Amino acid sequence: MDPKAISDLYAMGFNPVSDRSNFVTVHNSAYYRQQSEEAYAAAHDGFAPDIQAEMDKLFRCDVLILQFPLWWFGLPAILKGWIDRVFASGGRTYGGGKWYDRGVFLGKRAMCSVTIGGEAPIYSERGLNGPISSILFPINHGMLYFTGFTVIEPFLVHAPVRISDDERAAYLALYRERVLGLASAPTIAYSKLADYDAHFVLKSRPRSQIDGDGIAVPGALDSEFRCRLPRRESTSHG
């Protein structure tokens, strides 16, 4: 296997829409309920070949890189659809108590590499759009950490269509350095399940005082998996 597997979603013609085409099995033909069908497919090897192929890449990789332009303060639709279809419940990627620091992908790392239409100040604590860490929280915490990944601090490039060739070359050099150093790259320190009470409320300090900006967690990486979107010349919204 290529140690650096890439899923270029546009080139693949990946279908982002979740429906019965996700499965080769049928749990209830009269009423479609996504999570029930996912649980049934997980128990009966019933995922469609395109979904199973992407799941296999996830389970083989040591680190997942999501490469995308920020679009309307979130993931582009095709990448969100990839998450919707591939991060299936029923215990395959989560469910049955397998979440957060007990998640399926415990021991693996993940990182968002993001191009952002606006310049950095507007995405600061006092900026109009708010801090980029808050914008990426649903992805870093709600998708990656939720399924067990250790989340690496994101690699960010602001206003890529308005930078010089020299600046672009500098960013590429920094990105190469980051990718080569993924095993020791700084990570986001999220609270563990044990820090919460029976209602999943933090037992002591507020989240802002517990979840730090990042800590270095060493670990060996032999392969990586990138889910990549091609560069778009138009300025992204967000």
Identify the residue whose tokens are 């992805």: 139
The pLDDT, as a whole number, for residue 3 is: 62
The pLDDT, as a whole number, for residue 190 is: 94
Structural domains in the chain, CATH included, are 4-12+33-184+217-228 (3.40.50.360)
The pLDDT, as a whole number, for residue 4 is: 78
Whole-prediction pTM: 0.84
Question: What dihedral angle (degrees, nearest 10) is formed by the CA atoms of 221, 136, 106, 26?
Answer: -110
pLDDT tens for residues 139-168? 999 999 999 999 999 999 999 999 999 999
3-class SS at 110?
A: strand
pLDDT tens for residues 108-147? 999 999 999 999 999 999 999 999 999 999 999 999 999 9
- Show the low-confidence residues of the chain (pLDDT under 50): 1, 210, 212-222, 230-237
Q: Among residues 90, 87, 129, which one has the least CA distance to residue 110?
A: 87
Q: Which helix (H) or strand (E) holds 186?
A: strand 186-187
The pLDDT, as a whole number, for residue 225 is: 54
